[in-house]
Amino acid sequence: MKHGTLTTDNHAALWHGRFKEGPDAAAVEFETSIYVDERMAFDDIKGSKAHAKMLGETGIISKAESSKIIKGLESIEKDLASGKLKIDYSAEDIHSFIEATLTDRIGEPGKKVHTGRSRNDQIALDERLYLKRVIPDLQAKIVKLIDVLTDIASDNTKTLIPGFTHMQHAQPVTLAHHMCAWSWSLERDYERLSDALKRIDYSPLGSGALAGSGLPLNREMVARELGFKGVTPNSLDSVSDRDYCIEFTSCFSMLQMHLSRFSEEIVLWATTEFNFVNLSEKWSTGSSIMPQKKNPDFAELIRGRTGKVYGQLAALMTMMKGLPLSYDRDMQEDKEPLFNALDCVSSCLTVFTYMIESAKWNKEVMAAGCEGGYLNATDVADYLVRKGMPFRTAHGVSAKAVRIAIDNNVKLEDLCIEEFKSCSELIDEDIYDLITPKACVEARKTTGGPSSEKVKSQISALKKFVKSCSPKKSTVKKNK
Ligand code: ARG
């Protein structure tokens, strides 16, 4: 690899001057990061343009040099976007490649772009710019999924489905209620990302290698130019803080965990035993030996990839745990886990959305699941509470009725009035209308409850959220 050789050419390693001997080719191969950091090329150029502009305006370099640098960077940006310029993978990192290409193109002024700057503050800047650029795309995918889930919810406010605790029949709810439940988790995932974005909205540039600069850099000017809210407050912290990598990867992990849990339900619901959902053939796979098979592989893969995302978080936390201030090269290892986790959760979101959007819901099967599992036993107790009985006593009465029904292998609502009365004299004929699954659901009008009225207000709150987020779109073309 070229960057280790002692040439005077612009493409030698940025630091080659002090060395008599270049590093071994294997050493170069080991330390390079360009395969990972190339995706921040446009962010790197953006940062360099703002830096060069500031250098010109503060008189650290001449205005003419500053504008030559900016024009040179713009030509690199254009040629990279069009594919005319290819990344040279023998460069040590994306910063080296862009600086070398700049000097190739504009000569001497190119050698001034790194004035008052270190790759230590440059990489911290690039990562923040990159995240500020791509996180809105991920958030847009979350919003799209919430939109799809709430569409399903709107069509199913009266579609009964058994609710489970301990994976046992508990109380009836609706498919709409269930879809809204996952939508709220996703809404929190969205908000967590917005919150993390607030914390990276400060420019680290001007922190230099670790101790700022003796040159009259104007950090605030660069921050404004790049659309940051302000500048980071401490140069040592600026070059060695990777909290944001951990924080975003933690957000990705939680999001992936929600997709994984939901996927687990889809896998279960697609079984012959449940048969609640029929996945589209486009989003299912078959078996090489069993001709009849239609497998929910996409849900399984999403569930299966969750460990990888969590693994990235563990890698980052462990990589950082022993690092003294300030920059240590260990930190170069931050990008792979961050990007891996982001790419994984991003593709899982896309696939999950397609899969759920194209699924067909077996409404009769779900409704039938609410029958016969004594899901209305709490409602028998509540019936008695309404008649003044203490809940604990009512629980016992309902349990007695359940016992009789189990012993006779019938549903609760199949007990005759005499059998009910043998449990409590307070029970009258009106109980039969009040303990149908539909009545049980509709009675649950507590805020956040499953009654169609209450779920409709959840759906409209979620749709409002979707609408309020919808215009948010990243402006930059490349989101690798
Ligand atoms: N590739 C490095 C990283 O990602 C950039 C900073 C290099 N700094 C240094 N002093 N070697 O962290």
**Whole-number pLDDT of residue 22:** 78
pLDDT of residue 480: 47
Percent of the chain with pLDDT over 90: 88
Options 3, 90, 183, 287, the catalytic residue: 287
| Helix and strand element counts for the chain (H, E) | 19, 6
Q: Looking at the structure, do residues 128 and 82 belong to the same domain, yes or no?
A: no
Average pLDDT over residues 35-40: 97
* 210, 332, 339: residue to mutate for ligand 1 pocket, most atoms within 8 A of CB: 332
Domain range for 258: 120-133+173-215+225-361
Q: What is the mean pLDDT of the chain?
A: 94
Q: Are residues 78 and 107 in the same domain?
A: yes
231 - beta bridge partners? Answer: 203
Amino acid at position 120, single letter: N
pLDDT in tens, 195-213: 999 999 999 999 999 999 9
pLDDT of amino acid 23: 82
Q: Could you tell me if 98 and 127 lie in one domain?
A: no
Q: What is the pLDDT of residue 473?
A: 54
287 is catalytic: yes
The reply to whether 208 and 331 lie within a common domain is: yes
Asked whether residue 84 falls in the same domain as residue 194, the answer is no
> Across residues 127-147, what is the average pLDDT?
98
Q: Is residue 193 part of a domain?
A: yes
Do residues 106 and 125 both lie within one domain?
no
| Neighbour count for residue 347 (Cβ, 10 Å) | 14
Mean pLDDT of 299-308: 98
50-89 per-position pLDDT tens digit: 999 999 999 999 999 999 999 999 999 999 999 999 999 9
CATH number of the domain at 84, please: 1.10.275.10
In the predicted model, is pLDDT for residue 4 greater than 90?
A: no
Q: Which residues line ligand 1 (CB under 6 A)?
A: 33, 93, 119-120, 123, 329, 331-332
At 343-372, the pLDDT tens digits run 999 999 999 999 999 999 999 999 999 998
- Pocket test of ligand 1: the residue of 34, 120, 126 to mutate, having most ligand atoms within 8 Å of its CB, is 120
Residue 264 reports pLDDT greater than 80: yes
Which of helix, strand or coil describes residue 33? coil
Residues 111 and 125 in one domain: no
Residue 418 lies in a domain: no
Nearest CA to ligand 1 atom 11: 329
Which atom of ligand 1 sits closest to the CA of residue 209?
A: 10
Does the annotation count 118 as an active-site position? no
Model pLDDT, residue 477: 53
For the cut 70, the answer to whether the pLDDT of residue 475 exceeds it is no
| Domain tally, the chain | 2
Note whether residue 140 is domain-resident: no
Q: Where are the beta strands (DSSP E) in 121-165?
A: 160-165
Residue nearest to atom 12 of ligand 1 (CA): 332
Atom of ligand 1 nearest to the CA of 92: 1
Contacts with 434 (C-beta within 8 Å, 6 or more apart), sequence order: 379, 383, 443
Is residue 1 pLDDT above 60, yes or no?
no
Residue 269: pLDDT above 80?
yes
Atom in ligand 1 nearest the alpha carbon of residue 327: 10
Torsion of CA 429, 430, 435, 437, to 10 degrees: 120
Residues 127 and 55 in one domain: no
Q: Identify the band that residue 24 occupies on the pLDDT scale cut at 50, 70 and 90.
A: confident
Comparing 2 with 423, which gets the higher pLDDT? Answer: 423
- Mean pLDDT to the nearest integer, 111-116: 98
